[in-house]
Amino acid sequence: MSLWEYANPVKFLALSARVQPFAWGAAALGIAVGLVWGFFATPDDFRQGSTIKIIYIHVPSAWIAINAWIMMLVASLIWLVRRHHVSALAAKAAAPIGLVMTVIGLLTGAIWGQPMWGTWWAWDPRLTSFLILFLFYLGYIALWEAVEDPDTAADLTSVLCLVGSVFALMSRYAVLFWSQGLHQGASLSLDKEENISDVFWVPLVISIAGFTLLFLALVLYRTGTEIALRRSRALSVRLDRNT
Amino acid sequence: MIALLLRDLKLALRAGGGFGLGLAFFLILTVLVPFSVGPQSALLSSIAPGILWLGALLACLLSLDRLLALDFEDGTLDVLATAPLPLEAALAVKGLAHWITTGLPLVLAAPFLGVLLNLPPEGFGWLVISLLLGTPALSMIGTFGAALTVGIKRGGLLMSLLVLPLYVPTLIFGAEAARRGAIGMDAETPLFLLAGISLGSIALLPFAAAAALRMTIR
Amino acid sequence: MSLRLADIAVARGGVPVLSGVSFNLPVGKALILRGPNGSGKTTLLRTIAGLQPPLSGEIEGAVDAVAYAGHADGLKSMLSVAENLQFWAAVYGQHDIAPALEAYGLAPLAGRLTGTLSAGQKRRAGLARLMVTGRPIWILDEPTVSLDTDAVTMFANAVQRHLATGGMALLATHIDLGIEAQVLDVAPLRAVASELHGASDEAFL
């Protein structure tokens, strides 16, 4: 019994069907609890007032935006090394979710930034990095769409994801070098000193967990769709050959 | 390898396009900038390094879709892939040929266009050095982008979408070095980082480009 | 040193097209592939040339020994015939292009830009390219397209001489070249649904 067993589409679908209800349920629960708690049961920040409440959407979506790309990177590596189709399709399935989360992160950031910094947009390192990440998602998805042969598309997008990751990291440091920021430091870190206060922290972590489970459920669902598409393609090709 | 380089240079010369087109584009872009932002010399001289860098970057991009597409159509890439020359080396050489035909002329033309944009006198040296160090990275990243999209019909636009985000760090460090040089600040740090990106790209991207090309040919 | 294929299966666009291809091509011999359109001749030749990996099976003796000529000639229209051949000779570490020009009657055309040649003349230049590679195994995909009868004779003679000097040739063609060769009909080797192994779509069935 190894993890690689689930590289088989049929086994993957069976597992996915069993996991998905729990993932959807837990995601709904986590997001609901996190948001309701965050919105109604936390005090206003003494400096930021009630605008802080947008943090319960802003931070989780930004978290997913980055981690979706990392997940795609891992899935791409697995495809390149072990040629498991499910892995390539999971990377393909995750990209639009990452893209949407990046947009949500940018939009909520703008809405938050307007009252706080007095501007919708500033060329701050974090904001700029996210904008660049958005461009990388766009390119990745466009390449998937453009290549006709599915295996070649998986190959090429994987290479792009690998090289893109290196350049995205370089861009991150280049942008830090290029501009000093307005954005506050990280909201969460292992170093407890720097964390925001516990009152905000607990619902935020619950919300992040909810978003992560939502991401998992969406990836499972979308990967299933991609597998079904490939399966119908394979079946129609076989039909053509046998008639 | 030298044969391939000479052949690419010869082709660029004969087919026109190569040398002329990128340079002409660079010139036109630079001429258009004062029309769009106004003729105030103080404003122009402060944005000159950035505009020249952006112009050079776009001029580089312009000629990339011819880099491999023609060789793909006429079957040259198939034959190159079965030749004793490793594909990685062939692509590195093609990137070099692209730099000689596009990047180098841009570097040489940049000071003259700098005059048009009132670039401060102390900025010329830094501009040329930053372009000289940065354009090889632009050519190599472009070769990788071309290898990714060579099998796609009308892949030119897609290639721009893929290549431009990859150009971000090069542009930031290059334009920053030129800008700092122009206003008399220390420009060495961004220059070193720029050189690092160029050397890294030259060392590693031929492998990524060759991998992508093998996947396309297959 | 011979070219040997053992139980090769190949796929095109994720779909297996041929399976169980085995043959042995000894020095000085030629093999002609026959089969209807879409039967996988080109895919098989590209696989042997190393442009794509086989689904399964073993190929021996092909690495760094093949010269491949596909549907496109690999010639630059803005270079002269001689420049094109010299370039490919240099890539393969050879120098002398005179015999190649001679064999295909290209000497009078050597200085012409390839873009100004007719389709048949261009094809001759493309075939002459094989002679400057110095490689023992020629892989030719429909080499006689757009050639007239004289040119076909030139080509047949060139292949004969290549075989006589220890070369090998693998051709996909429907024209009788008058070359003594084994014939392999690929039609019966069509990959059947039950033995689809390792092709990309198979995992989804």
> Do the Cβ atoms of B216 and A156 come within 8 Å?
yes
Distances (CA, A) of C194 to A238, C16, C35: 11, 11, 22
| Residue in A closest to C39 by C-alpha | A241
Compute the residue count for chain A: 243
Q: Which of A12, A241, A243 to mutate to test the interface with C (most CBs of C within 10 A)?
A: A241
Q: What is the dihedral of CA C34, C55, A84, A87, to 10 degrees?
A: -30
User: Would you state the pLDDT for residue A190?
Assistant: 46
User: Amino acid letter at C89?
Assistant: A
Cβ of residue A153 closer than 8 Å to a chain B Cβ: no
What is the C-alpha separation between B182 and B118, in angstroms, rounded? 11
Q: Average of pLDDT values for B23-31? A: 91
Q: At how many degrees (to 10) do helices A198-242 and A9-40 cross?
A: 150
β-strand partners of C169: C30, C138
pTM: 0.90
Residues of chain C neighbouring B73 (CB-CB closer than 8 A): 72
Quick check: B140 contacting A, CB < 8 Å?
no
* Chain A closest-CA separation from residue B142 CA (Å): 13
Of C67 and C189, which is predicted with more confidence?
A: C67
DSSP string, chain B: -HHHHHHHHHHHHHTSSHHHHHHHHHHHHHHHHHHHH-S-HHHHHHHHHHHHHHHHHHHHHHTTHHHHHHHHHTTHHHHHHHSSS-HHHHHHHHHHHHIIIIIHHHHHHHHHHHHHTT--TTHHHHHHHHHHHHHHHHHHHHHHHHHHHTTSTT-HHHHHHHHHHHHHHHHHHHHHHHHHHHTTS--HHHHHHHHHHHHHHHHHHHHHHHHHHHHHH-
Chain A residues whose C-beta sits inside 8 Å of any chain C C-beta: 8-9, 85, 149-151, 227, 230-231, 233-235, 237-238, 241-242
Q: What is the mean pLDDT of residues A218-234?
A: 91
| Closest to C34 in 3D by CA, of C152, C181, C187, C189 | C187
pLDDT tens string B77-98: 988 888 888 999 999 999 999 9
- Note the pLDDT tens digit of each residue in B153-187: 878 889 999 999 999 999 999 999 999 988 888 88
Q: How many Cβ pairs closer than 8 A exist between chain A and C?
A: 34
* pLDDT at residue A193 in the model: 46
Q: Give C95's pLDDT tier (boundaries 50, 70, 90).
A: confident
The verdict on a CB contact (< 8 Å) between C203 and A242 is: no
The answer to whether the CB atoms of B162 and A135 lie below 8 A apart is no
* Contact predicate B208/A163, CB 8 Å: yes
CA distance B108 to chain A (A): 26
Q: What is the mean pLDDT of chain B?
A: 89
Quick one: closest CA in B to A152, which residue? B215
Chain C nearest C-alpha distance from B5 (Å): 10
Looking at chain A, which subunits does it touch, using at least 3 CB pairs closer than 8 Å as the criterion? B, C
The predicted pLDDT at position B2 comes to 78
- Would you tell me which residues 175-204 of chain C have a C-beta closer than 8 angstroms to some C-beta of chain A? 193, 200-204
Q: Report the pLDDT value the prediction gives residue A23, as an integer from 0 to 100.
A: 94
d(CA B10, CA B18): 10
Taking an 8 Å cut-off on Cβ atoms, the answer to whether A151 and C200 are in contact is: yes
Compute the average pLDDT of residues A143-151. 90
Judged by CB atoms closer than 8 Å, whether chains meet at A135 and B165 is answered as yes
Partner residue facing A178 (CB), from B176, B211, B215: B176
pLDDT given for residue B14 in this prediction: 74
Partner residue opposite B165 with nearest CB, options A132, A146, A147? A132
Residue C197 has pLDDT above 60, yes or no: no
Cβ–Cβ contact B165 with A under 8 A: yes
Q: Count how many pairs of residues, chain A against chain B, have C-beta atoms within 8 Å.
A: 73
Touching B: C residues 149-188, CB under 8 Å? none
Tell me the C-alpha distance between A34 and B163, whole Å. Answer: 39
* Structure confidence at residue A20 (pLDDT): 93
- Asked whether the beta carbons of C204 and A231 are under 8 A apart, the reply is yes
> Which residue in B158, B190, B197 is closest to A170 by CB distance?
B197
- State which residue of chain A sits closest to C200, comparing Cα positions: A151
Whether B181 contacts B124, CB under 8 Å: no
Q: Are C106 and C120 in contact (CB under 8 A)?
A: no
* Lowest model confidence (mean pLDDT) among A66-75, A173-182, C144-153: A173-182
Yes or no: say if C74 and B78 are a contact pair by the CB < 8 Å rule: yes
